Structure 1
Amino acid sequence: MAKQSSLIKLEGTIGDLSFYKNRNGNYIARRKGGVSRERLLNDPRYQRTRENMQEFSQAASAAKFLKNAFREIELRSNGGKLHNRLYSAVNKVLKTDPVSPRGERRFELGDIQMMRGFEFSESAVFGEILKKQFEVLEDESSVTVTIEEMAPSKYLISPKRSSHYRFSLIRAAVNFEEQTFHSEIQSSEFLPLKVTSAPAEVLTLPIPNQANENYFFALSLEFVEELNGQQYERRDISQNPAVIVAVV
């Protein structure tokens, strides 16, 4: 890499040289390089690179698909970089596929139980917002989440200006083979934060048990602000935690 020392400052491309201004305000000249597309796609020495590219594409596609399936969560809890964080988690699962050859491994054939515990908002970890354990009960037909009776002001770390909260259980049913998904949600009522005791919450959703479908259940906690009897969503939803609690 070379620096330009002349009075003429160039930006753009001339032949195989690229001229640009870097972050420090210096003008830099760089020769074009890299491997040609044809060589990358056909040269045996780049077989591993092609395999990595295929699996990158597969993981990115599965992450996007799963994100769309959890659209209800994205609207309620999103601390930014959700796709990137989902991709990272999906890629780890994909690499556990025990049957497919390198380059053809698939997320749905891997250990999808690794998605349990995935936090949708990196700035609002569920266990740091709800300071009380909740119970997750799975059986052949349903998933049930129980949050015991509690004092909200003691066990909930709520954002400023929030007055009410509610829990939601969301199920994303995903068929990766046919590229279809559908979701269902059950929510509690909005409850005031400033009470000495709030009743236990029990949220249940069925498991459809359809062929080739995987089921991901997430628990979300949403804070809102009440004004003149109306509840309003907060602009900053990054403080609303959500976590995958069951994978079937």
Structure 2
Amino acid sequence: MATYESLIKLKGSLDDLVFYNLNGKNVVRKKSGFNKNSFKKSASYEKVRQNSSEFGHCSKIGKTIRHCLDFYIKKSEDPLLYQKFAKVMTEIKDLDIVSEKGKRSVKKGLETELGYQLLKKFQFGIIENLENIAPVSTGLWDKSLILDKNTACDEMVVETLSVDFESYTSKNFQQVINIHKESNEYLFEKHFSDEELLLHFVVLKNEGKIVKMGFV
């Protein structure tokens, strides 16, 4: 980009140059080599198209999941959380080894053991992650969680998320459970179809304050 002085004020393009006014100065620059039509069709842009498609997918899935957890995310006090969450969505997507490049998905990544472990290990800002809850067990009519009796909490909130990975929409159901020290297994209601890939987000509170939260 360069400025120029001339009695004739040019605006528009001439050959490979573009003339315009920026903050009161006459500016000239070379046209960008990017061509929208070439990007869509040229073989040389194939890898770029693949990366762009997968990046958009991960970003949308991250936003869809975060939408259900917005109240808790605000408690995390992390202004960069959405970027960190998008990054872990990308890492999970990379574990999809059954789809072709450009069509790899977060869902396929989550169906792997390592993929779901990445989601479980994600920490929401200043709130401690959950390391003391056994995996969710599924019964005929309900599900259960086993909590370490030494955990200082008096209330558990279970958010069950049903995510549509194709339309980028989601539904969630919340259940609040009182913690009793005489037991460490807690049942919560079974919602949505067993055929769906469901995510379970658990929040532990003590005297109304969130002490730990995360996916289980």
Structure 2-normalised TM-score? 0.68
Alignment equivalent of 1:115, drawn from 105, 113, 119: 119
- Are the counterparts in 2 of residues 55 and 105 from structure 1 also a CA contact under 8 Å? yes
Amino acid of the structure 2 residue aligned with 1:185: Q
Q: CA deviation at 1:57?
A: 1.5
Alignment partner, residue 220 of structure 1: 203
Alignment partner, residue 102 of structure 1: 101
Identity %: 15
Counterpart check, 1:126 vs 2:128: yes
Alignment partner, residue 242 of structure 1: 213
Alignment equivalent of 1:172, drawn from 156, 161, 164: 161
Q: CA deviation at 1:55?
A: 0.8
Alignment partner, residue 50 of structure 2: 51
SS of equivalent residue, structure 1 residue 218: strand
SS of equivalent residue, structure 1 residue 205: strand
Q: Distance in 2 between matches of 1:39 and 1:214?
A: 38
Q: Per-residue displacement from partner, 1:127-152 (whole Å, max 9, x unpaired)?
A: 5xx9xx63325322323142525678
SS of equivalent residue, structure 1 residue 116: helix
Q: Distance in 1 between matches of 2:206 and 2:138?
A: 32
Structure 1-normalised TM-score? 0.61
Amino acid of the structure 1 residue aligned with 2:121: G
Q: Distance in 2 between matches of 1:57 and 1:242?
A: 27
Greater shift after overlay, 199-208 or 48-57? 199-208
- Are the counterparts in 1 of residues 160 and 191 from structure 2 also a CA contact under 8 Å? no
Q: Distance in 2 between matches of 1:178 and 1:77?
A: 27
Gaps of 5+ in 1: 7-12, 22-27, 153-164, 192-197, 225-230, 234-238
1:4-15 alignment runs, 5 A limit: 15=13
Q: What CA RMSD, in Å, does the superposition of the two structures yield over aligned residues?
A: 3.9
SS of equivalent residue, structure 1 residue 136: coil
Q: Distance in 2 between matches of 1:178 and 1:30?
A: 41
SS of equivalent residue, structure 2 residue 48: helix
Gaps of 5+ in 2: 6-10
Which protein has greater RCO, CA pairs closer than 8 Å, 6+ apart?
1
Alignment partner, residue 8 of structure 2: none
